[in-house]
Chains A and B, each alone.
Chain A
Amino acid sequence: MARYGIAVDVEKCTGCHSCFLACKDEHAGNDYPPISVAQPDIGHKWLRLREIEQGTGTKIKVDYIPIMCQHCEKPPCMAPGPEGAVYQRDDGIVIIDPQKAKGCKNIVNSCPYGAIFWNQEKELPQKCTLCAQMIDNGEKTTRCVESCPTGALIFGDLDDPKSEIAKLLVAKAEQVEAFKPKFGTKPTVKYIGLPKLFIAGEVLLSDKPKDCIKGAKVTLKADNQDKVMETNTDFFGDFEFKGLDRNIDYTLIAEYEGYYPQEITIRTYASKNVGELVLRAK
């Protein structure tokens, strides 16, 4: 038996919203008994994109994270409703039964991901079905995945080692994580390259204010870790450290031969543009 999932390669997502629109096209106005009834035209976001803007000035990053039902192995949405209102298929897809779940508004609030929506007119909690009606019809993809222009969304059988999704998750194993794993629900939707914090800035030399300084050495050390990250400024004199964790105290040192190094400490409440670090000549 296949076990279906989606991998989200966040670095490839451009925020084009094709997935969001394709989901509407599949579901708005269309019933797929017994899996789902129609999504309302407006307001439901069975798949939504969260925009993450980080940094300040010219050192900013903008990322988009597609978020849908995570089709959890331990779905918290199964608890509040009556028996069978939410069920897990053998292929792993979590389905809200449109008949048995009628009136169960508390199913909406049970999802820590905010992926379940209340259909006021039909008094029904609704969410992504992983296009189960298509899979049952022998299709090889879901509508969101079909619409994605960059391959940021990949659908397939997680248990088939030859499937594209399984191969990708192996190839990028170090970057694979659940979205918000602290919820403890064991999602089958897997994320690759979720945006992390960064520290960026520019190194300048006090006696050469009109030059960009390429090749200055910049190191970053987390105060509670041994690991030291090191980089060199690029031709603009810019540097950045990506993949940082939140609320860590870091020490950043900028060095250039013939100049006094500069050291600053930063606590990563958020991503940070430290601006210009001007090194004085020895």
Chain B
Amino acid sequence: MAEQVFTNMTNGGPISVYVKDGKIVRVRPLQVPEKELKPWVIKADGKTYSPPKTFRLAPPGHAERNRFEPHNRILYPLKRVDFDPNGERNIQNRGKSGYERISWDEALDIVSGEIKRLTDAYGGSAITGMTSSHHNWGIVGYKMGPFSRFMNMLNYTPVLDNPDSWEGWHWGATHTYGFQWRLGMPEQFDLLEDALQNTEMIVFWSNDPDTTRGTYSGQESAIWRVWLKEKGIKTVFIDPFFNYTAAAMDGTWLPPRPGSDTALAMAIAYVWVTEGLYDKEYVADKTIGFDEFKDYILGISDNGIAKTPEWAEEKSGIPARKIIALAREWASKRTCLSSGCRGGQGSACRTAFGTEWARMMVLLQAMQGLGKPGVSIWGTTMGAPADSNTWFPGYAEPRGQMGKSGVAKHKLSLQNKTKQRLFRLTLPDAILTGKEDFWGDGFCGQTLDQQFVHNLYPMEGHSTVKMFYRYGGSFMGTMSDTNKWVKMYQSPKLEFVVTQDCWYGSETKFADIILPACTNLERNDLGEWAACGGYTTNAHIGNNYRVIVREQKCVEPLGESKADYEILTLLAERLGLKDLYTEGNTEDDWARLFFESSDITKDISWEEFNEKGYYIVPIPDDYKPTPAMRWYYEGRECDTPDTGNSKRGTEKAKELGTYSGKIEFAAESLRQNMPDDMERPIVPHFIPSWEGYKSEVHKKYPLQIIMPHPRFSFHTHYDTHTPWINDIPLHRVEKDGYYWWPVRINPEDAKARNVVEGNIVELYNDRGSVLCIAQVTERVPVGVIHSYGCSSKYDPLVPGKPGATDKAGCVNLLTSSKLVSKHASGMTPNSCLCELRKWEA
């Protein structure tokens, strides 16, 4: 049979899938004739800049075929061998016992039977469920579509997501400049052109955009940084790890001790205040609370402690003279602050009191006139020219979800009668102790006030949860203090656990029943590259082109795996809810409904879209850039396509999202709601970590470990599911037939522990023990070790035993589950101390 070519999408970019005899033989970046691509042009300094006429996938996207293959796929419905729903459940053996293959009928009967039994006895609130993220791409098949529609139909107790990866921006930066509608990260529109035309220096602070990219934008922005480097723009990298972007751009490296970034930022502010090196007019007109802030910085308040460069040197290890030099240069040049891949994010915000660092990032740029040409907060991964007026649904926005969209007759995701909520980070504690309280509504993207909601579990009139429907299974490698998850799974309070996934994840084998789902290469869907929608509106600006793809079914599902929608439809049928759940629609009917709800129907018919497989949204000939925050700097109404901005188009359109509408050095939202919170005070404070340098724990465990997002996998995805990626020695290293997870350690620290390159070492503290392979490198300073917090595999030496040493590199077994602060519900993986020794089994 001749080769067929299908179109599809990954979270790292659009692909062409070559199929022969029912098998995928190759996967390439989406092949589009050059004549169909009209690249934008940016002019700067007499030069023109234009992107190549191809698409640049994220590295793992090139291995999509290998991930799809059945190395680690779940192929059949499975039941834990010692689980009997009508007899002995052996809950204590979760994580320990093996599995046996069962039929789909048996599996669906057990799952629907448990749903029915528990709902009848306790109501829908006894059922909880939650998803992992990023395993597939699409609208109809992705997590927020069919799963949300199904679970809300059952009136389940949702588990709220934490704003993970941008904790400090969500819980902190929002109180300085708003952008709650972007969960605290700043708008990025047209900042590429601004940087090429106006920026003279970029300070990358806790940011490795070459690794984290624009989240989903593949490597589209890599060429932008080549241009910036070739232009000779000075770059400074503040990061405990000499990261890949620093290596590529050959920048100056300042490695602060983890947890000291806030002190470093305050010392920069100190230099600016004492030397008058800030934009006084901007501060007077466009900010409030500066005097209160200044008093804290100068030590007029805070018991006379001035935040001098010498004070910051003691905390950070960065020489005072370097801090002063950086501060002066920053103020004398048009400087862009690149504090996370989307402007916000970065390991420094995922620490104890990481809110304070994110707030300081905004305030530093406010002192330099944020929004002035060349003076931005820009991750260097978003901000290409694009048509942002043509709307196409994204999975993260209500209009892109089958439970909420106008295309649904019954908006089931909005009709959940259960008001009880759980929170992802505290879920194990909630299950184990039977009660829990937490602050905020998870993603607080509507108003700042959502952050001040106090949730109690169980909620009056509701049941505690007894069944856990787990979609995905990545958390042993990505959440914190994850031995707690082992304990949770073995708790008799969880009477039933079902997992649905395409691949075996670190949690999969804690389930009673495992349901095999298929990938988006095995079913029809549709989606736009990178444009998740929701709180990251117009995320297509991380790409050089807007690419909307008809995700075509390339091959039959592997084994007995089925599409999520089909699995959930079969369960709904057994519960007598099929008609309500499906509204008579097939998966492809939904796809067409979403297509027809979009703006591109005027440009391409459903038939042509189906046949051709993609549509490229062209950039208008008369495109006019609207650089982020320029409107604020110039005192105009917001003119960017930041459609989540609730003040846009109103009489308050010149304002930011804060209470005052201005940048707040002293946060009015905190003053009015939590004036006595000394862990997130009205004016940002430097608060030493409970587990940082020179803390009490440091005497016993002297190594600070940082665990950023990984370079060659997407969180846990593509890791052990994709043997080709394990063949990259910077990702995993083969030794004696096992693929070990690397930990990077300074030569001095290695020598002191008699460790050499390639040794298997144990990382340990009071919470856990993990084996890794040592990579000895100058890229981390003395006292700091680095290991990505994203192993997809959990491989304990004693299966099912909480605290057992893990071979597979789940370094989050070591991290504390303490939150950013009392009222800031974020995780703190980069506030972790441990020790390391050579492993001698």
A interface, CB within 8 angstroms of B: 12, 14-18, 20-22, 24-26, 28-30, 41-43, 45, 51, 53, 55-63, 143, 146-147, 149-151, 209-212, 214, 234-238
Q: Which one of B62, B320, B326, B730 contacts A18 once the chains associate, using CB atoms below 8 Å?
A: B62
Interface positions of B from 8 to 26, Cβ below 8 Å from A: 25-26
Residue of A nearest to B722 (CB): A21
Give Cα A246–Cα B424 distance, bound, in whole angstroms: 55
Contact A58 B255 (CB under 8 A): yes
Give B214-226 as 1s and 0s: 1 = Cβ < 8 Å from A's Cβ atoms: 0000111011001
Residue of A nearest to B782 (CB): A57
Give Cα A18–Cα B137 distance, bound, in whole angstroms: 20
Q: Which one of A41, A151, A234 contacts B52 once the chains associate, using CB atoms below 8 Å?
A: A151
B652 at interface by CB-CB < 8 Å: no
Q: Which one of A21, A61, A147, A235 contacts B247 once the chains associate, using CB atoms below 8 Å?
A: A61
Which residue of A56, A59, A149, A238 has the most chain B CB atoms within 10 A of its CB atom?
A149
Interface positions of B from 784 to 835, Cβ below 8 Å from A: none
Interface positions of B from 44 to 75, Cβ below 8 Å from A: 52, 54, 56-57, 59-60, 62-63, 65-66
B575 at interface by CB-CB < 8 Å: no
Contact A56 B778 (CB under 8 A): yes
Give Cα A143–Cα B61 distance, bound, in whole angstroms: 13
Contact B724 A147 (CB under 8 A): no
B interface, CB within 8 angstroms of A: 25-29, 52, 54, 56-57, 59-60, 62-63, 65-66, 210, 218-220, 222-223, 226, 234, 242, 244, 247-248, 250, 252-255, 320-322, 324-326, 328-329, 711-712, 723-728, 730, 777-779
Closest chain-A Cβ to B128's Cβ sits at a distance in Å of 38
With a CB–CB cut-off of 8 A, which chain B residues contact A150? 219, 222-223, 226
Give Cα A146–Cα B777 distance, bound, in whole angstroms: 31
Contact B252 A238 (CB under 8 A): yes
25 contacts between A and B (CB under 8 A): A12-B226, A14-B247, A15-B244, A21-B63, A24-B62, A24-B63, A24-B66, A24-B724, A41-B66, A42-B723, A42-B727, A45-B727, A53-B778, A58-B253, A63-B247, A146-B28, A149-B56, A209-B321, A210-B324, A212-B325, A214-B325, A234-B252, A235-B326, A235-B328, A235-B329
Contact A25 B65 (CB under 8 A): yes
Closest chain-A Cβ to B563's Cβ sits at a distance in Å of 25
Give Cα A142–Cα B322 distance, bound, in whole angstroms: 46
Q: Which one of A14, A25, A236 contacts B62 once the chains associate, using CB atoms below 8 Å?
A: A25
Q: Which one of A21, A59, A210 contacts B59 once the chains associate, using CB atoms below 8 Å?
A: A21
Give Cα A211–Cα B779 distance, bound, in whole angstroms: 26
Give Cα A21–Cα B725 distance, bound, in whole angstroms: 7
With a CB–CB cut-off of 8 A, which chain B residues contact A22? 28, 62
With a CB–CB cut-off of 8 A, which chain B residues contact A147? 29, 57, 62
Contact A28 B724 (CB under 8 A): yes
Closest chain-B Cβ to A255's Cβ sits at a distance in Å of 20
Closest chain-B Cβ to A46's Cβ sits at a distance in Å of 12
Q: Which one of B242, B248, B321 contacts A237 once the chains associate, using CB atoms below 8 Å?
A: B321
Contact B724 A41 (CB under 8 A): yes
Known: A28-B66, A149-B218. 7 other contacts (CB 8 A): A18-B219, A21-B59, A25-B26, A25-B724, A41-B66, A53-B778, A150-B226
Residue of B nearest to A57 (CB): B778
Contact B250 A61 (CB under 8 A): yes
Closest chain-B Cβ to A254's Cβ sits at a distance in Å of 16
Contact A58 B66 (CB under 8 A): no
Give Cα A235–Cα B234 distance, bound, in whole angstroms: 11
Contact B325 A15 (CB under 8 A): no
Contact A16 B730 (CB under 8 A): no
With a CB–CB cut-off of 8 A, which chain A residues contact B218? 149
Given contacts A41-B723, A151-B52, A237-B321, contact A51 B26 (CB under 8 A): no
Give Cα A56–Cα B725 distance, bound, in whole angstroms: 29
Given contacts A150-B222, A210-B324, A235-B328, contact A25 B210 (CB under 8 A): no
Give Cα A41–Cα B71 distance, bound, in whole angstroms: 11
Contact A16 B321 (CB under 8 A): no
With a CB–CB cut-off of 8 A, which chain A residues contact B328? 235
Given contacts A26-B26, A150-B226, contact A62 B56 (CB under 8 A): no
Closest chain-B Cβ to A119's Cβ sits at a distance in Å of 15
Contact A15 B63 (CB under 8 A): no
Contact A30 B25 (CB under 8 A): yes
Contact B320 A17 (CB under 8 A): no
Q: Which one of A14, A15, A21, A60 contacts B779 once the chains associate, using CB atoms below 8 Å?
A: A60
Contact B242 A15 (CB under 8 A): no
Give Cα A67–Cα B780 distance, bound, in whole angstroms: 27
Closest chain-A Cβ to B773's Cβ sits at a distance in Å of 15
Residue of A nearest to B23 (CB): A29
Contact B325 A235 (CB under 8 A): yes
Closest chain-B Cβ to A56's Cβ sits at a distance in Å of 6
Give Cα A30–Cα B3 distance, bound, in whole angstroms: 13
Contact A16 B252 (CB under 8 A): no
Contact A14 B322 (CB under 8 A): no
Closest chain-B Cβ to A132's Cβ sits at a distance in Å of 16
With a CB–CB cut-off of 8 A, which chain A residues contact B712? 17
Closest chain-B Cβ to A19's Cβ sits at a distance in Å of 9
Residue of B nearest to A51 (CB): B730
Give Cα A30–Cα B27 distance, bound, in whole angstroms: 12
With a CB–CB cut-off of 8 A, which chain B residues contact A53? 777-779
Give Cα A61–Cα B244 distance, bound, in whole angstroms: 10
With a CB–CB cut-off of 8 A, which chain A residues contact B60? 21
Given contacts A21-B59, A41-B723, contact A146 B54 (CB under 8 A): yes
With a CB–CB cut-off of 8 A, which chain B residues contact A211? 321, 324-325
With a CB–CB cut-off of 8 A, which chain B residues contact A26? 26
Closest chain-B Cβ to A140's Cβ sits at a distance in Å of 10
